[in-house]
Amino acid sequence: MSTVARLRALVAVADSGSVREAARRLTVTEPAVSAALAALAREVKAPLVERDGRGLRLTPAGDAYATYARRILGLHEEALAAARSGTDAGRGLVRVAAVPTAGEHLLPTTLSSFLAAHPQVDLRLEVAPSDRTWAMFEAHEADLVIGGRPPMHAADAVIRATRPNLLVVVAAPAVAQSFDPAATRWLKREPGSATRVHGETLLATLDAAPPTLTLGSTGAVIAGAIAGLGATLAPREAVRRHLESGELVEVPVPGTPLRRPWRAVTHEVVPAAAAMLISHLIKHGDWRAPARPPVKS
């Protein structure tokens, strides 16, 4: 078994917590996964996994090693794509990670037109909460992140383009009529969502602690607001159609709207296909290139 296969086995066990599930995900046998873990442990000269009930968990050494393993695997995929496409960006790979609102409302039309223009590009999109998208970025599992401001620990993040984004408080008309930040139920996004954090920060600045209800996605929060479950903070672009139809109304709350621009972010070294997609966003998706050279976060 190659080193890359061994690293994949370790990461699969880290994600799944069992040799059986790791083998299923990798389409190999359980003994092959166990042999890979044993070979890595001999190379590292430290145990990487230990029993945890009926499953497995990583030891501190395994946890540290798995962090680098993810990065190595991400860079390996990136290197293979660069070598295989050569100078032909139209046959390259671009791995996009987007936060839910961007993935649901900003990207579908633009990505469709991009693929129509470049049908041989291998485009991959994962839509996930903000913390997951940046974890993918740091592990080099994503070439391009569409989301908010890069976190401080995303060391080589470079902002290639921005797009305006306003966060507003919305509610069904009946709820908006009697809105009280201290008493009206607040609908929260899933843990790891940047919009959820912005909403919690807004409530803190208002010194308000209303009852809350956590819903699992952008769509669920908006549907809950339309149904009259409470008020929420949402990108105006995501609720524009509902504001126009009257299902939702914008609630005037001090400190809003919040300006939280979308950002298209890459590593310092940009794969050719990713650079081509950024150019397409700027040309067809209302994104703006930096007035000055790209900003390193």
Question: Residue 292's pLDDT is what?
Answer: 66
Domain ranges across the chain:
3-74, 86-164+261-296, 166-259
Question: Residue 111's pLDDT is what?
Answer: 94
CA distance 186 to 223: 13
Which range of 5-9, 250-254, 293-297 scores highest in mean pLDDT? It is 250-254
Which range of 25-39, 148-162, 242-256 scores highest in mean pLDDT? It is 242-256
Question: Residue 230's pLDDT is what?
Answer: 96
Backbone φ, ψ for residue 219 (5° rounding)? -60, -40
pLDDT at 245 over 70: yes
pLDDT at 246 over 70: yes
Mean residue pLDDT across the chain: 89
pLDDT at 7 over 80: yes
> Do the domains 166-259 and 86-164+261-296 match in fold?
yes
pLDDT at 95 over 90: yes
CATH of the domain spanning 3-74, picked from 1.10.1370.30, 1.10.10.10, 3.40.50.1220, 3.40.630.30: 1.10.10.10
Backbone φ, ψ for residue 56 (5° rounding)? -130, 155
Return the number of other C-beta atoms located less than 10 Å from residue 216's C-beta.
12
Is the domain spanning 166-259 CATH 3.40.190.10? The answer is: yes
Write out pLDDT tens, residues 98-135: 998 899 888 999 999 999 999 999 999 999 988 889 98
What pTM, to 2 d.p., does this model score?
0.77
CA distance 201 to 203: 5
The highest-level CATH class for domain 86-164+261-296 is: alpha beta
Strand partners, 51: 56
Question: Residue 90's pLDDT is what?
Answer: 78
Amino acid 2 reads S
CA distance 256 to 90: 42
Q: Percent of the chain having pLDDT more than 90? A: 49
